[in-house]
Amino acid sequence: MSGTGDGNAVGSGWTVAEIPSQAGRRALITGANSGIGYHAALELARKGAHVLLACRDKARGDAALKRLRDEVPAASAEVVLLDLASLESVCAFGAAELALGKPLDLLINNAGVMAPKRRLETRDGFEIQFGTNVLGHFVLTALLLPALVRAAVNHPQRPRVVTLASIAHKQGRLNFDDLQSAKSYGPMIAYRQSKLADLMLAFELGRRLRAAEPPISGVMSVAAHPGVANTNLFQVGEFSAVERVVRRGFGVAIGALLNSEAEGAVPTLFAATSSDVVDGGYYGPQGFQEMRGGDVGPAKVAAQALDQAGAARLWSECERLTGISLL
Catalytic annotation, pick one of 38, 185, 191, 283 = 191
- Cα angle, residue 284 at apex, residues 270 and 274 outer, rounded to 5°: 15
Active-site annotation holds for 191: yes
Q: How far is it, in rounded angstroms, from Cα 23 to Cα 44?
A: 9
Catalytic positions? 191
